[in-house]
Amino acid sequence: MSRPPAIVLVRPQLGENIGMAARAMANCGLDELRIVAPRDGWPNPAARAAAAGGNAVIDSARVFDTAAEAAADLQLVLATTARPRDVEKPVHGPREAARLLRESGARAGILFGPERSGLDNDEVGLAAAVVEAPLNPDFPSLNLAQAVLLMAWEWRMAGPPSETPVPSELAAAEAFEGFWRHLDGALDAAGYYREPKLKPTVQRNLRAIFARAGLTDQEVRTLRGVIARLSAGGRAKDY
Amino acid sequence: MSRPPAIVLVRPQLGENIGMAARAMANCGLDELRIVAPRDGWPNPAARAAAAGGNAVIDSARVFDTAAEAAADLQLVLATTARPRDVEKPVHGPREAARLLRESGARAGILFGPERSGLDNDEVGLAAAVVEAPLNPDFPSLNLAQAVLLMAWEWRMAGPPSETPVPSELAAAEAFEGFWRHLDGALDAAGYYREPKLKPTVQRNLRAIFARAGLTDQEVRTLRGVIARLSAGGRAKDY
């Protein structure tokens, strides 16, 4: 049986929403809550009150400074968004995403952005794929806790996978970050980013290609070898 | 297309929950809210505030004295419960119930009980069938607005599928081959393939990473720029 995904609330504003999200998680059998830079600090009495029977989820929640830190050990990160982004990533509905989570066997997490603004582009950049629910196009914006319920419910309904999943060899987010910094730094040194204004867009697009591929640890090492070798012009020792 | 079911909140206690339920309805394209004997009277400013973009649902809500009156014109009534009742009625999960609603073509409504106690037996008695979600048996009690979202979402998903997002322009095989030959040649020139015996395996693994990513034409150009720049160590003109 695959372990339930971690729910990662990024910069949540209202304690009530954190509590209601925890309650929805408990309803659906999810227990791992990660909170990134909660606006009103932590612990938050309003969150605990709103969690009702889900307060064990609140009590065991872990707090992080950044989404990247919260996702560091995760092998499969999904980002929820209310509207399509310009990044080139696969977009799944919640039902499809839940199936993907069940089948991958990876240590997974789902990112949810702040109530007002949603995830920023760098945070979406941490994810291998985007989850977007096919809601009323005139009013697609779900309350934060409702969005968590929707994913938790779909995960629950996607049921245990038919076979026991093979333990995933996907690289954890931290290893992926190391690879990305290596590539980015090599490109900087080589003068690849000629237009400062375009740099963030070029970085985002380039990163999305590799995020989407779902790299294993071995593949991360291979690509780092490629970067080292190409940028050294034959002088590097890495293979 | 079948008309969406009416959502009937029976003796709801908190205005916030009424508002959040209306918001969830609007998210899923439901617009008919009926409220039976709301504890705090009607209209309720807290309900309207919590509804956010769903306030049209609040403004058009109708209030009734009893569940029987609220259900009087409905042809198919379902009652949601958190725990099995001793009444002899069919019990459906939300997904099955949504299919039933879609297929019946009947003027339908779904009853939701008060936060604290749920529907009483007479109210359940109005329904043709009971809806019970297969939640965590240790904590199955959904928040009222979450329960409404769950049914509204399942109703939406049971419907005609919305259009799938148009996939971006994937690069043709020929363009991918050009990219691959470029990378492979640059690696050869840089002395990356040190072990002739391993070369085919390394090539296969490396190629698989990019094949898997499903590159667009633009991404192929971006990656070729990366290769050119890295292997030229800053001398190349491509971007």
Higher-confidence position of B233 and B40:
B40
C-alpha–C-alpha distance, residues A126 and A6, integer Å: 15
Model confidence band, residue B172 (pLDDT cutoffs 50, 70, 90): confident
Residue B239 reports pLDDT greater than 50: no
B19 has a pLDDT exceeding 90 = yes
Q: Are B58 and B26 in contact (CB under 8 A)?
A: no
Give, as one character, the DSSP assignment of residue A4: P
pLDDT computed for residue A87 by the predictor: 64
Contact B155, B28 (CB under 8 A): yes
Is any Cβ of chain A less than 8 angstroms from the Cβ of B105?
Answer: no
Look up residue A127 and give its two tokens. 């994810």
Nearest-Cα residue of chain A relative to residue B159:
A134
Interface touch B209/A202, C-beta < 8 Å: no
Strand partners, B79: B111, B130
- How much is the average pLDDT of A158-164? 64
Closest chain B residue to A155, measured at CA: B135
List pLDDT tens digits, range A76-130. 999 999 876 666 789 999 999 999 999 888 899 999 999 999 999 899 999 999 9
ipTM score assigned to the predicted complex: 0.81
Q: CB-based contact (8 Å) between B13 and chain A?
A: no
Q: Taking CB atoms and an 8 Å cutoff, what residues of chain A touch B215?
A: 209
Q: Is A21 on the interface with B (CB under 8 A)?
A: no
Is there a cis peptide before residue B43, judged by omega within 30 degrees of 0? Answer: yes
Phi first, then psi: give them for residue A212, nearest 5 degrees.
-65, -30
- To the nearest whole angstrom, how far is the Cα of B62 from the nearest Cα of chain A? 22
What is the rounded CA–CA span in Å between residue B73 and residue B101? Answer: 16
Alpha carbon distance B115, B144 (integer Å): 6
What is d(CA B81, CA B113) in angstroms, rounded to the nearest whole number?
A: 8
Residue of B nearest to A201 (CA): B222
- Tell me if B27 and A134 make a contact (CB, 8 A cut-off): no
Quote the minimal CA–CA distance from B27 to chain A in Å.
5
When mean pLDDT is compared across A224-238, B1-15, B16-30, B209-223, the lowest value belongs to A224-238
B56 touches chain A (CB under 8 A): no
Torsion angle of the four alpha carbons A56, A34, A113, A101, in this order, in degrees rounded to the nearest 10: -90
Please give the share of chain B, as a percent, with pLDDT higher than 90: 69
Query: What residue type is assigned to position A95 of the chain?
Result: R
Give the count of Cβ contacts less than 8 A between chain A and B. Answer: 161
Contact A64, A35 (CB under 8 A): yes
Dist CA B133 CA B146 (whole Å): 12
Sheet strands (E) in chain A: 6-10, 33-36, 62-64, 76-80, 91-92, 108-112, 129-131
Assess whether pLDDT exceeds 70 at residue B85: no
Q: How far apart are CA A38 and CA A226, in angstroms?
A: 39
Asked if the C-beta of A63 comes within 8 angstroms of chain B's C-beta atoms, the answer is: no
pLDDT of residue A21: 98
Smallest Cβ–Cβ distance between A153 and the set B20, B150, B234 belongs to B150
In this predicted structure, the answer to whether residue B165 has a pLDDT above a threshold of 90 is: no
Residue with tokens 């009416």: B6
Task: Decide: A23 and A52 in contact? Cβ < 8 Å.
Answer: yes
- Cα B185–B189–B193 angle (5° rounding)? 85
Averaged pLDDT of chain A: 91
A189 contacts in B (CB within 8 Å)? 234
Query: A141 vs B189: CB contact, 8 Å cut-off?
Result: no
**Closest residue to A229, CB basis, from B52, B149, B190:** B190
| Nearest chain B Cα distance for residue A59, angstroms | 16
Please tell me if residue B225 touches chain A, with a CB cutoff of 8 Å.
Answer: yes
Range in A26-30, A55-59, A82-86, A111-115 with the lowest mean pLDDT: A82-86
Q: Quick one: which of A6, A26, A233 has its CA closest to A109?
A: A6
HSE toward the beta carbon, residue B96, CA cutoff 13 A: 11
Q: For residue B176, what pLDDT is reported?
A: 85
pLDDT at B105: 79
Q: Which of A153, A170, A199 to probe the B interface (max B CBs under 10 A)?
A: A153
Q: Which residues pair with B130 in a beta bridge?
A: B79, B91
What secondary structure does DSSP assign to chain B, as a single string?
Answer: -PPPPEEEEES---HHHHHHHHHHHHHTT---EEEES-TT-SS-HHHHHHHGGGHHHHHT-EEESSHHHHTTT-SEEEEE-SS--SS---EE-HHHHHHHHHHH-S-EEEEE--TTT---HHHHHT-SEEE-----TTS----HHHHHHHHHHHHHHTSSPPPPPPPP-BPPHHHHHHHHHHHHHHHHHTT----TTTHHHHHHHHHHHHHHH--BHHHHHHHHHHHHHHHHTT-----
Exposure string for B44-78, b = 16+ CB within 10 A, e = fewer: beebbebbbebbebbeebeebeebeebbeebebbb
The whole model's pTM is what? 0.82
Distance in Å, alpha carbon of A37 to nearest chain B alpha carbon: 24
